[in-house]
Structures are given as structure tokens and as C-alpha cells.
Chains A and B, each alone.
Chain A
Amino acid sequence: MSLFKRKDTLPIPPLDAEKYTTVCQYCSAGCGYNVFVWPEKRSGTAKSNAFKVDLSQQGQLMSGFSYTETMHNVITRKNGHKYNLAIIPAKESRINKGDYSIRGGTNALTAYTPTGVTRNRLKDPMLRKENGFVAITWDHAVEILATLTKSSIDKYGADSIAMKFYDHGSSGLGFEDNWGAGKLFLSGIKTQYLSIHNRPAYNSEVWGSRERGMHELNYDVDDARLADTVVLWGANAYEGATVFYTEHIMPNLQGGSIEEKQKEFASGEPAEAGRIVIIDPRKNATTSVSQDISAERVLHIRPNLGTDWILANAIARIAWENKWYDNDYLQKRTDMKTFEDYKSKSLQLSKSLNTVLADAEKITGVSRQEMEQAAEWIAKPKAGGFKRRTLTLYEKGIIWNMKNYDQVAAIAQLNVLTSNVGRVGTGCGRLGGHQEGYVRPPAPTPGSIYAGGPPKNVDKYITGGGGKIYWVGATDPYLSTPNSQFFKKMVKKRAANLLDYIDNGGIPLDPKAYTAKVLEAFEKTDGLFVVVQDIYMTHTAQDAMLILPAAGWGEAVDTSVNCHSRLLRIYDKFMDAPGEALPDWKILALVGNKLKALYEAEGNKAMADRFSGMDWKTDAEVFAAGSAEFGDNKVAETDEATLSAECYKGVTHEILRKLGNEGIQTPVRQDPATGKLVGTKRRYKYSFASKDGLFKWYGTDAWTGYPAEIAKYIDNPTYPFWFTTGRSQHVWQTMYHDKLIPEKYLSLPLPYMEIHPVDAGKLGLKSGDMAEVFNEEGSCIALVYVNDATKPGLVFGIMYHAKGTMNNLISSYTDPKTTMPWYKGTKVGVRKYTGKLDDAIKTASLLSNNDFTT
């Protein structure tokens, strides 16, 4: 009867099972997990087991110990023996306290097993031959890649190598791999055509905040429980950073953290249940869950797409008008010279309040009354004159908005204007997507257009015929890049041109002859040599010439920080990588060391030196090597702002192993008085991260309408709907694991769109129908859900899915100041198809996922 095989009993780890600590491989919350490994045939007992829990009794609700069907697997180690694997949420972690989400709860199911759902992991390096891929050795793969890279640099310059690599933590990646990539691409190859996993350039997503002197991860999970008001701005916390919402924001809304507030707040300061301001065009699940908890403590504002910075400035103007700021703070902590620019351009003090708000109403579609309420909840002092404590978190709704730089800057400035940074219960920054783990040599482009930028757009370079080698690591741009339909078409064409040239009379077998032929193709065609380094066969990899198999989460030791506390922990290795797969840093080092040898062989010392320092033997060595990049961290607490946000200098894998789920919060200082390593709970209490320690103001741009790429659709009746994208709670990224897990793929069998009942009625659409979303950039066929998450005139789509991508519809526009795309806004038409995909949708629940009422 079940749709897939279920279990009604689980194996028990014996007392002496191997135990490791790790952190969830997925979202920014970074929930702590404990891993148990024991031989398949051995078992503990209900009373005596490695969980140290009495399993003979019915488990109690919310006990903090959960062990469910999805938390167990059977793996095979390199020794050929089978082992039970249990991965359970850590009760002792202050991040999740035993809680977990639908994503992390399936961590165990993603483990590689030779005959299970993950059996098709990449296991060997593979080279494309005439009729598809063949397995080759690492020696062979490295020789080809290093020789081609060297020849290409020598002949066409470093910019002939383009790369797209992750720069984040978690997912089995972290400081170690990022240092490896940094050494190879930034110190060694030195190409300017670098791009980060989810965007076309090598940029910060938040230069608008960083260039003010404020790194985006400046708060602690505790602040979400201690805030008077939490603002979620384009940040769907319940679905995207789930446990951060359920363990830290939700208790605050429910009044469950009042006692904590009383302890932490000043004496006499009012401490009540928290409020929440949600600024999002959709009534997403975060909104409806919050409303179900306490509707009167929720303010939901739905601005027109692209207009948020105008809204932020209008709210700031209301706060200014009411004098809800601390002049002393502004004078001491912020740069009053640049404040003039902010006053004139962002607050628009030369215009009357009425004019500013009337303009803002027109542009944003948000009523003055809502703006005033938001301003009160964010900034109005509490009874007794105590400053309100507001934690503002933004994410992709802001970062991937039109005018990335101004959007981020406006929100950062609203919070500093109202002193909502550096105090208990405050903070302003990213909710985060992934966890982080960035350590690299300096990037070629240090900042936005105001700080040496903007960085190069690699997508435009590649689609315009630039580059010879395109090396993609742990990302799938065919799905994930903006304007992906066009991008894919061009890469495919260039890859095919290369293949066609070298296949003329048979592809040479010998590595030397092979590389010579490819170099000839570089000369004669616009051919692109695509290299994909990943754990699975991706959409992009299907057009690769060379595929490099990487180790995944749990298959190597790595380290990362989460986003809501910058909590650095070890993600220990508990199993072997499949086949020949290697950790990313090792793959990058193999190529780097080979390049060094090739340059040495021809006596080119200068070039050989660029690739030196990559002869690491262990993960711990790479971690240590990266730490030198952070410089001196012997600073007092009052100087924490001078440290890089992820500074871990002095911390080792061994120390982290001892700290386990407790971890240590970056930036880590070596205290000058005691010499001890000390973490940083909350940032910018004393000064900001600018040369003089003052927050730097910036006057944002005025509203000038939409960029040409979108303006062409306005008033065009073929594309009547505004269109935005987002994620589903169930699945992670491209579903690289989730597409294999029945609990996930049966629920979400197809890419989907959401449409409001009013619009659905006009088009004759019902939930379960199939429709095409289209515009002049491209199209995507999607399963239709009719619900009130969207509003009339607005269509929503899952950003991408293993079976299709809405990025086909997204324009190639990027913010000229930062080269950040506007992934979350365009206009589309919707066309209904007749017929249904009955079997696929037979397993997909069509119930409304934002209605929690009973």
C-alpha cells in the first residue's frame, strides 16, 4: 500500500559505536548533528546503547531526541564491510536543541551506498570520447587539465580560464576547499573571470552593507529570541532557514522568551512577546505560520517587485521625522560627513514628509499606514524611553532584487539610523542560504563600483565567445544561472564545436596528442572546454569534456560557520568517498602542483611560484594554511571590528573536535591579556569595520523605473504577470540529493508555479494542471498550484527543480554597481496546457502549503 518501502523498526547503535559530531549539510541555520557508525550485524539494546537513551519506553514529545526512518542508512566502507549509519539532531547544540527540518532530517539518506538510491554518484574521473564518457585515472585527468590550463594561459593569457565555483560552507565544503580554490584560481591562475556558484560574477552579495563598515553576519541566534521586533525582509525563514525560525523566532512570537529578555534587558525595560514584520510580495509560509501564532503581532507588507529600497528609505524618513534615533550614537559611531548625503538622497529631507511618503506609496504599492506601523515596530522607543530592539534579516528577496547595492545599503542604514546593531536583541544582516566558510587570497575586484569594481560578468564573457576553459565546481549553472536558457544554448554550442573539431578522425587517446588536438581546436574554433567537478552527473556536466568526482559531506573533514551565530564547528569524516572521488581541495591541489611542475620543467620560476604552497597532505593542513590569510588576531574585544568575520586563526581541527557541537564563534581573537582563543558573540558593539571605525553613510539612488531588460515587458499584454521565484521547504538547491529520495520526489515531482485564484479563474487553471510560463528570454513548463500566497497579477515559480528551471525566464540584467542579477523579478505570460501528467501528480499533494489553520 505504501508509495515506497517503509520501516517499522530501526537498528540500535551499541555503546561502543563510533561517534562523530557534524553539522547539517544544508541551510544557513547549521543545526548540530551526531553521527553513529557501527557494524551492520551488531546491535545495542534498548537499555544500553550509544544514544544513551532508554529506548524501551515511548519517547516523549519535544524530548530533543529523535531517531526516525529517514535518519538511518547502511553504508559500505572501502574495507568492503557494511555499517549502520545513524545521523541524528544534536540535543546539546544551542542552535537546534534537537530540532531539525525536512531537509536535514534526511541527511542519512544522502549517504553513498553502492546499491541504494545514491549509487550513481560520480566515482571516476571521466573524459568525453566520441560516444560519451569513459573513466580515466587521476594521473591522466590531471595531466590533461594542467597541460591545457598552462598552454591556454601561455598562449591566450590567464583570462582564458573562466571558473564558477562555490564559495560557501556546508554541503561537504568549507574553509579547506575554499582555500584550495583560492590558491589555484586567485594566486595561481589569476584570471579575472571568476564567478561564484549562484551568480555570474565574483562579488559579495552585500557590498551595500560591507562598504558601510558592517559585515552581514553580526548577530547571534539569541538575538532572534531577545528582539522586540524581528524584521524578515525578502527572507522566508520558516521554509529557508527552518530551525532558526522554529527555535529562535517562533518562541519569541509566542512569548516564550520573555524571561530571557527580563534577564538580559536593562532594569525597568519592558519585555514582551516579540513582533514580526514580514516584507515579502508573497504570503509565504513564514507569514501564515506567524499569523497563526499571533496575528496581531505580525505586520505583512507586500511591496511591488524591485521597490524595497524606496520603502526602507520611507520607513527611515518616518523614524527621522519622529526623532526615533539617538543623536549621540550617530555622532560617535557614524561618519557625520557622509551622513549629509544620506539625509539628502535617502531621507530626502529637502522634500516634505507628505511628498516623500506619497511618492513612496505610488512606487512601492505599500500604504502610508503600513509604513508608519513598520517604523513604529522597528524604531519607536518603548515605554520609559528605552530603545526598541530590532533584528532585521534580509536574504535573496533583497540580494537578488533590482539594484542590489542600493537595496542592501538602504536596509543596513535604516538599522544603524535606529541604533539597531551591536546591542542585545538587535542586528542587521543576512538570513543566509548556505552556511559559510570563506578564506581566500584577495579577489581581483575588491568591491562595488565605489570601491574598485564592478567585477566581470563571466556569463556574458562565455556566451559572447570568451574563454577557452570553463571550470565549474559544485554548482549547475544550466539550472541556476540567470537567463539560463540562452546560457545553456551558447555553452552547448561551444562545447559541441570543440568536440566536433577534436573528433575529426577520432579523438586521440594519448594525453599529449589529446591536449595538442584540443589546443588546435582553441585556435580554429570558438570551442569551450568545459570541466565539471561535482558529486553527481549534473545538467551542465552532460556537456563537459572532463568530469572530476568530488567527495561529499561526511566523506572528508571540513569546517564551516553557520550564519546566525558565525558558529565554527567541525564536520567530521565518518565514511569513505565513493570510488576515486577526492575532496575538492585535493583535486585543486593535484592540478596546482602539476602546473607548478610543468612551469618548473621549463625553468619558468615566476609562474611556478604562483602555484606553490599547495602540497598539503591533510585537511587539517589546508585549514591551518588558510588561517594565515586572516592576519594578526591578537586584539582586544573592543577591536573585534578590525577582524575578518570568519577569522579562525589559532583554531585547529583538533580544538574543534574537542569543542564538538559547542564550537567557537568567529571572528576568533587571541586575547592579548590571556592568550586564549575567544569567540565573538555579537559584532559592532564598539566600532564598525571601516578604517576609522565609523559607519559610512551612502545616499541611495532615486527611483528611475525598471531597467531596459524588464521595461520592454511593461504594458505588453502578452506578458501580463509579474513573476518572482523562491524555494520549497522540502528540497535543497537543484535537488541533487532530493531527486533520489522518495519522500521528496514524490511530493515535488515537477517544477511548479503558484498563481492567485483570481488569475487562475481567468485562465481556467486549477491546481494539478500543467502550464507554460514564458517570456522573450525563455520558458518553463510547470505544475500549477492555485493558492493565495501570490497576489493577483503576480506569479511565483520554484527557482529551479531537477526537471527544469524558471531561470530560463530571467533577464541578463545585473546591477551595474555590483554585477548582481535580479533573479526575482521579470514579467511573463502563462499558457494553459490541456491534459495532465496524471502519474506524476498522483503523488504530489495539491493542498495549500500556506494554510495552517485548523
Chain B
Amino acid sequence: MSDISRRKFLQTTSASAVLFLSGLSRDGNTAPPKGYPSKKIGNIKNLKVNEPLAFNYPDDKSPCLLVKVENEAVGGVGPGKSIVSFSALCTHMGCPLTYSKGRLVCKCHYSMFDVALNGQTYQGLASQWVAQIVLRLDAATGNIYAEGVEGLIYGRIGNLKLS
């Protein structure tokens, strides 16, 4: 459900398309990110709604959160497509993010990110949406794997470029 293609977005805006041009070059879906490790980060049986699990990915300097939310979420896995994962570093100036009530909150300058909507900054200072971790659910075992990152982790020139 979750992907909103450019074509679809344009349809909804066609009434005023002349004035409301959607972005071409930054729009659309991306190929799966390359070069990331695959890391087991949890099992579906141990996940309870709104109770996040902390882990590090793609390396031990990058704290992340795995959470099951109440409804379907963009990029979600699992039967309800409701399991999502994000970098836990605020994209504004790198403070830790706390999960609460369906969003990630930063108490440094109060940015808030909607975890059901791709880590969208729906309030606050962060001009970059928070980086979302690409997940894979192994149906047989229920294991959840982190397999990539979409968006830049705060404080890095590249997600895989620390020395």
C-alpha cells in the first residue's frame, strides 16, 4: 500500500497541477540500498505494540529503534505491515530520539517524526526526515533483519563511511 508513486500523487493534485508541480528528480521509488550488512535485530514474537526495541545498525555508533505500531506504516513488515525501524539520532542536530505515541520525539529542540509516515518531520526543526531502516521478515522463523538504510544517518557523510 504504502508507496505513493509520482503518477498517483500527480493525479491527486491535477486540479492545480500548473502551480503545484511535484518534484521529478527527488520523487519515486528507489532501488534497495547497496552494501549494507544484514543483521538480525529481533523476532516478531517478542514485539509488543508501542514497545520499542533498541539496537545498533549498520554499526555500533548508530543507535536505532524497532517498533510495532497500531496500524499499517510506510515500509512496515509483518502481517499488519506495522513493524518499522528508524535511526534514533535526530536529524536536526543529532540528539537521541524517544519513541512515544506513534512518533519519535527529540527533546533538544522538539522535532517530532511520524513513524507511520516514513519518519516525516511533522513538527519541529529537522529539515531532513529521520532515516528509516529497511527490514526483512523471515516468514519461517519470524526473525526480523535490518538490511539497509534509506536516508542519511545524522553526523555522517555517508551511512557506511565511518573509518
Chain A residues near B (Cβ < 8 Å):
1-10, 12, 46, 55-63, 66-71, 98-106, 113, 115-117, 119-120, 238, 242-243, 246, 250, 285, 289, 292, 537, 539, 542, 729-730, 739-743, 745-747, 749, 802-803, 837, 839-840, 842-843, 845, 847, 849, 851-854
What residues on B are CB-neighbors of A730 within 8 Å?
121
Among residues of B, the one whose C-beta sits closest to the C-beta of A102 is B127
Known interface pairs A67-B157, A68-B152. Does A99 touch B128 (Cβ–Cβ under 8 Å)?
Answer: no
What residues on B are CB-neighbors of A243 within 8 Å?
125
Known interface pairs A106-B127, A746-B120. Does A845 touch B157 (Cβ–Cβ under 8 Å)?
Answer: no
- Whether B151 and A843, one on each chain, are in contact in the complex, defined by CB atoms closer than 8 angstroms, is no
A5-B27, A12-B157, A117-B26 known; 11 new pairs, CB 8 Å cut-off, are A1-B3, A1-B75, A3-B74, A6-B151, A8-B158, A10-B157, A104-B127, A105-B92, A740-B21, A743-B127, A743-B129
Task: Sample 16 A-B pairs with CB under 8 A, ordered by A number.
Answer: A1-B150, A5-B25, A6-B131, A56-B162, A60-B155, A61-B93, A62-B94, A102-B124, A730-B121, A739-B20, A743-B121, A746-B120, A747-B121, A802-B20, A845-B117, A847-B114
Among residues of B, the one whose C-beta sits closest to the C-beta of A68 is B128
- Whether A741 and B23, one on each chain, are in contact in the complex, defined by CB atoms closer than 8 angstroms, is yes
Known interface pairs A1-B132, A61-B93, A101-B127. Does A8 touch B122 (Cβ–Cβ under 8 Å)?
Answer: no
Within 8 A of A (CB), among B135-163: 149-163
- Whether A745 and B20, one on each chain, are in contact in the complex, defined by CB atoms closer than 8 angstroms, is yes
Within 8 A of A (CB), among B1-57: 2-4, 8-9, 11-13, 16, 18-30, 33
Least CB distance from A250 to B in Å reads 8
What residues on B are CB-neighbors of A46 within 8 Å?
157, 161, 163
Identify B125's interface contact among A6, A100, A119, CB under 8 A.
A100
Within 8 A of A (CB), among B87-116: 89-96, 98, 100-103, 105, 107-112, 114, 116
Q: How many angstroms from the CA of A246 to the CA of B126 in the assembled complex?
A: 13
Among residues of A, the one whose C-beta sits closest to the C-beta of B91 is A68
Known interface pairs A57-B162, A60-B155, A69-B151. Does A729 touch B93 (Cβ–Cβ under 8 Å)?
Answer: no
What residues on B are CB-neighbors of A741 within 8 Å?
23
- Whether A242 and B125, one on each chain, are in contact in the complex, defined by CB atoms closer than 8 angstroms, is yes
What residues on A are CB-neighbors of B103 within 8 Å?
847
What residues on A are CB-neighbors of B160 within 8 Å?
8-9
Among residues of B, the one whose C-beta sits closest to the C-beta of A289 is B110
Q: How many angstroms from the CA of A49 to the CA of B37 in the assembled complex?
A: 28
Q: How many angstroms from the CA of A12 to the CA of B156 in the assembled complex?
A: 11
- Whether A100 and B127, one on each chain, are in contact in the complex, defined by CB atoms closer than 8 angstroms, is yes
- Whether B152 and A10, one on each chain, are in contact in the complex, defined by CB atoms closer than 8 angstroms, is yes
Most central of A102, A103, A250 by chain B CB within 10 Å: A102
Q: How many angstroms from the CA of A741 to the CA of B26 in the assembled complex?
A: 9
Identify B2's interface contact among A1, A849, A851, CB under 8 A.
A1
What residues on B are CB-neighbors of A59 within 8 Å?
94, 154-156
Q: How many angstroms from the CA of A342 to the CA of B93 in the assembled complex?
A: 48
Least CB distance from B16 to A in Å reads 6
Q: Does B82 make an interface contact (CB < 8 A)? A: no
Identify B19's interface contact among A1, A70, A539, A747, CB under 8 A.
A539
- Whether A60 and B120, one on each chain, are in contact in the complex, defined by CB atoms closer than 8 angstroms, is no
- Whether A852 and B26, one on each chain, are in contact in the complex, defined by CB atoms closer than 8 angstroms, is no
- Whether A99 and B13, one on each chain, are in contact in the complex, defined by CB atoms closer than 8 angstroms, is no
Q: How many angstroms from the CA of A298 to the CA of B44 in the assembled complex?
A: 44
Interface majority SS on B: helix, strand, loop or mixed? loop
- Whether A5 and B30, one on each chain, are in contact in the complex, defined by CB atoms closer than 8 angstroms, is yes
Among residues of B, the one whose C-beta sits closest to the C-beta of A7 is B152
- Whether B93 and A98, one on each chain, are in contact in the complex, defined by CB atoms closer than 8 angstroms, is yes
Q: How many angstroms from the CA of A644 to the CA of B122 in the assembled complex?
A: 41
Least CB distance from B1 to A in Å reads 9
- Whether A2 and B118, one on each chain, are in contact in the complex, defined by CB atoms closer than 8 angstroms, is yes
What residues on A are CB-neighbors of B101 within 8 Å?
847, 851, 854
Which range holds the interface residue count of chain B?
A: 35 or more
Q: How many angstroms from the CA of A603 to the CA of B22 in the assembled complex?
A: 53
What residues on B are CB-neighbors of A289 within 8 Å?
110
What residues on A are CB-neighbors of B149 within 8 Å?
8
Least CB distance from B30 to A in Å reads 5
What residues on B are CB-neighbors of A99 within 8 Å?
93, 109, 125
Q: Does B134 make an interface contact (CB < 8 A)? A: yes
What residues on B are CB-neighbors of A539 within 8 Å?
19
Q: How many angstroms from the CA of A749 to the CA of B62 in the assembled complex?
A: 32
- Whether B152 and A1, one on each chain, are in contact in the complex, defined by CB atoms closer than 8 angstroms, is no
Q: How many angstroms from the CA of A61 to the CA of B111 in the assembled complex?
A: 14
Q: How many angstroms from the CA of A122 to the CA of B128 in the assembled complex?
A: 27
Q: How many angstroms from the CA of A285 to the CA of B123 in the assembled complex?
A: 9
- Whether A116 and B132, one on each chain, are in contact in the complex, defined by CB atoms closer than 8 angstroms, is no
Known interface pairs A61-B93, A839-B8, A840-B13. Does A2 touch B123 (Cβ–Cβ under 8 Å)?
Answer: no
Q: How many angstroms from the CA of A243 to the CA of B107 in the assembled complex?
A: 15
- Whether A8 and B126, one on each chain, are in contact in the complex, defined by CB atoms closer than 8 angstroms, is no
What residues on B are CB-neighbors of A102 within 8 Å?
111, 121, 124-127
What residues on A are CB-neighbors of B129 within 8 Å?
6, 743
- Whether B24 and A115, one on each chain, are in contact in the complex, defined by CB atoms closer than 8 angstroms, is yes
What residues on B are CB-neighbors of A745 within 8 Å?
20, 22
Among residues of A, the one whose C-beta sits closest to the C-beta of B158 is A9
- Whether A739 and B19, one on each chain, are in contact in the complex, defined by CB atoms closer than 8 angstroms, is yes
What residues on A are CB-neighbors of B134 within 8 Å?
1
Least CB distance from B152 to A in Å reads 5
Most central of A99, A119, A289, A743 by chain B CB within 10 Å: A743
- Whether B127 and A839, one on each chain, are in contact in the complex, defined by CB atoms closer than 8 angstroms, is no
Identify B23's interface contact among A4, A66, A69, A840, CB under 8 A.
A4
- Whether A845 and B122, one on each chain, are in contact in the complex, defined by CB atoms closer than 8 angstroms, is yes
- The list of the 3 closest CB pairs from A to B, nearest first, reads A105-B127, A59-B155, A9-B158
Q: How many angstroms from the CA of A854 to the CA of B23 in the assembled complex?
A: 34
Least CB distance from B3 to A in Å reads 7
- Whether B122 and A843, one on each chain, are in contact in the complex, defined by CB atoms closer than 8 angstroms, is no
- Whether A8 and B150, one on each chain, are in contact in the complex, defined by CB atoms closer than 8 angstroms, is yes
What residues on B are CB-neighbors of A7 within 8 Å?
151-152
Q: How many angstroms from the CA of A113 to the CA of B95 in the assembled complex?
A: 33
Q: How many angstroms from the CA of A7 to the CA of B12 in the assembled complex?
A: 26
- Whether A847 and B122, one on each chain, are in contact in the complex, defined by CB atoms closer than 8 angstroms, is yes
What residues on A are CB-neighbors of B124 within 8 Å?
102, 729
- Whether A742 and B27, one on each chain, are in contact in the complex, defined by CB atoms closer than 8 angstroms, is yes
- Whether A4 and B27, one on each chain, are in contact in the complex, defined by CB atoms closer than 8 angstroms, is yes
Q: How many angstroms from the CA of A46 to the CA of B158 in the assembled complex?
A: 10
Least CB distance from A456 to B in Å reads 30
- Whether B93 and A62, one on each chain, are in contact in the complex, defined by CB atoms closer than 8 angstroms, is yes
- Whether B120 and A845, one on each chain, are in contact in the complex, defined by CB atoms closer than 8 angstroms, is yes
Known interface pairs A285-B123, A845-B120. Does A117 touch B23 (Cβ–Cβ under 8 Å)?
Answer: yes
Least CB distance from A92 to B in Å reads 16
- Whether B126 and A105, one on each chain, are in contact in the complex, defined by CB atoms closer than 8 angstroms, is yes
- Whether B4 and A537, one on each chain, are in contact in the complex, defined by CB atoms closer than 8 angstroms, is no
What residues on A are CB-neighbors of B13 within 8 Å?
749, 803, 840
What residues on A are CB-neighbors of B100 within 8 Å?
853-854
Least CB distance from A203 to B in Å reads 30
Least CB distance from A235 to B in Å reads 18
Among residues of B, the one whose C-beta sits closest to the C-beta of A119 is B24
What residues on B are CB-neighbors of A105 within 8 Å?
92, 125-128
Least CB distance from A61 to B in Å reads 4
Least CB distance from B81 to A in Å reads 11
- Whether A852 and B105, one on each chain, are in contact in the complex, defined by CB atoms closer than 8 angstroms, is yes
Most central of A6, A70, A99 by chain B CB within 10 Å: A6
Least CB distance from B160 to A in Å reads 8
- Whether B161 and A2, one on each chain, are in contact in the complex, defined by CB atoms closer than 8 angstroms, is no
Q: How many angstroms from the CA of A832 to the CA of B132 in the assembled complex?
A: 36
Least CB distance from A422 to B in Å reads 31
- Whether B112 and A847, one on each chain, are in contact in the complex, defined by CB atoms closer than 8 angstroms, is yes
Identify A58's interface contact among B22, B128, B152, B155, CB under 8 A.
B155
Least CB distance from A416 to B in Å reads 33
Among residues of B, the one whose C-beta sits closest to the C-beta of A8 is B159
Known interface pairs A102-B124, A116-B24. Does A837 touch B12 (Cβ–Cβ under 8 Å)?
Answer: yes
Least CB distance from B64 to A in Å reads 14
Q: How many angstroms from the CA of A851 to the CA of B114 in the assembled complex?
A: 13
Least CB distance from A850 to B in Å reads 8
Identify A101's interface contact among B12, B27, B108, B125, CB under 8 A.
B125
